[in-house]
Structures are given as C-alpha cells and as structure tokens.
Homo-oligomer: A and B are copies of this chain.
Amino acid sequence: MKNETFDLQEKLQALLKAQRDISPQGKVANYIPALAEINPNLMGVSVATIDGKVFGAGDDKVPFSIQSISKVFGLVMAMNRVGDKLWERVNMEPSGQPFNSIIQLEWEKGIPRNPVINAGALLIADVLTSHFSSSKLAFLSFMRTLSDDKNVYIDKHIYQSELSHGNRNAALAYLMKSFNNIQADVPEVLSHYFTQCSVSMSCQQLAQSLLFLANKGVDPRNNKVICSAKDAHRVNAILSTSGMYDQSGEFAFSVGLPAKSGVGGGLIAIVPNHGVICTWSPRLNRFGNSVVGVNLVAAIAEELGVSIYH
C-alpha cells in the first residue's frame, strides 16, 4: 500500500459519499423473505491493517447477515480439524457455473468444485457437524474469538427464513449424500449451514476477524496462529479464483484481491501483507454481489495501489 495511514479515514468517507451520490443500482436479495426486509440504503466500509489500525465510514459498526462470507471461516475451521484429507472430498477448482448449480455436482459425482460454492460449503458444514460435538456453538465461538466480541450473535429470524427456503441447498446436500460424500444427516448439515449464514457482524468486526489471512495465518493483534501459513495461502488462492460467484474472473481482472461476498450485501477483500477491506450495502448485481461493495473495494484498491496481479 502506498501510504495508507495518512488520510485513509477521510478517503473512505469521500469514497462512500461518492457511492451515495450515484443513483442506487441492484436489488436486495429476495430469495429469503427475511433478507428482503433490510433497509437497502445502509452502507458501510471498514479497513483493518496488520499493524493494528482500523478505519471506517458509514454504517461500519452495524451488524448485518454475513451469509456466504461465513464460508471463509467454516473452511478455516474444517482445514484445521481434518487437514489435507479434506481435499479428497472437495476440489479447489473454479466452478465456471452460477453459485448454486447442481449440474457440476452431478457431473463430478458429488465432489464440489471448491469450498466456497454452496455445494462445497455444505460439505464443509458436514465436516464440522461430524467433527464437533456442537458445531454451531463451535462456529459461533470461533467468530466471537476472532472478532474479540462476545456479543456476536446468530439472527434467529434470518435462520428460520433460511430454513424454510432452503430447498435448493437440501437438493445439493441430498445429491452429495447419494454419492456418499455427506456423512451426517442432511437436516443437521443444513441446520449448521444456515446457522453459519445467519451470524450477524459489522464491517469493522469482519475486517479485523480476517486479518490472519493477510498475515500468513497469524492474527497480528495477539500473535495467535489461526491457521498455518500454507492454509492462509490456500484460502486466498480459492477466494481469488472463486470468491465472487460467477463474477470472480471479472473481479480478479479489474480489482485483483482475494475476496468473498455474501447475499446479505457484505464483501470482504484480503490485501496480503497489509490488511483487510470490508464493505456492506445490500443491493446486489445479477451475480449476487453487492453493487456498491464491488465499486468501493475497487476504488479503495486503486487508491491504495494494491493488487496481487502487479
């Protein structure tokens, strides 16, 4: 990063204001009713650096439904728990298909393309369900530890809504089970998965929680090893090729940072050796990524002169 501390706080405010000033584009996720209830105009951004600084603007302290951003944390937990055997059950290739496609899964006999498409995340949920006595509590505990905030919570209203609109995820899980690639009972796996997706956190909390991915697996705030350097590398690689659904290539092309979005409107981007950017704005583009989020991360990356591709 060029010189990120000087006036980053002001910069973030200016960049956020610029986004507010253009007429809103995209649509709030409506595939589950509870997500559709959100105020679409909320907008926040936070940048956390590995040398301990945190910058923010807008609604950066308002918790929102992290949704698929939870896949990053679930993956780290599963890698820690089962090691390299994990990769016998899930691949690490880009999917080249919309995020919830069942076709690839059938084609490849129940082995998901990677852990950040829905099928792969369900497989991770199965691993966690099978390896923890209470995987939901373990996940929540992991999130509270990383964010250093005991108040991080599961939004029950979102959870119930997910559960009653989870038919496609159920189809994916039962299909994998028919290929013997799900071990626990499917309802239990779905319950873990929807719990994970229903965690509420703010931009500020998410940015700080993911600093270990910018720092070779070590949380720079307390020097705790969250995962191995090798696994931090792997997660960043997967997020780079597959973290933004079917817009992953375009995001690499135009921004160039490992990133993960969620249909709750959140978006996190890792800047290796420097820090983490997190944005939140609920309106989504046709790929399921936050419109303002993509714009903001691109602008911040450009401002800071960071990209992994040059």
Contact = CB atoms under 8 A, between A and B. Distances in A.
A256 B241 contact: no
A174 to B, nearest CB: 4
Interface in A94-125: 94-97, 101-104, 106-107, 113-114
Interface in A155-183: 167-168, 170-175, 177-178
Contacts of A288: none
25 contacts: A91-B249, A92-B249, A93-B246, A94-B94, A94-B95, A94-B241, A94-B242, A96-B113, A167-B174, A168-B178, A170-B174, A171-B172, A171-B173, A233-B309, A234-B253, A236-B310, A237-B253, A238-B252, A238-B253, A240-B308, A240-B309, A241-B252, A242-B249, A272-B310, A273-B310
Interface string A247-286: 1111011101010000000000000110000000000000
Interface of A is mostly: helix
Given A93-B96, A174-B168, A273-B310, A252 B240 contact: yes
Given A175-B171, A241-B248, A95 B96 contact: yes
Q: How many copies does the complex hold?
A: 4
Contacts of A240: 240-241, 252, 308-309
Contacts of A143: none
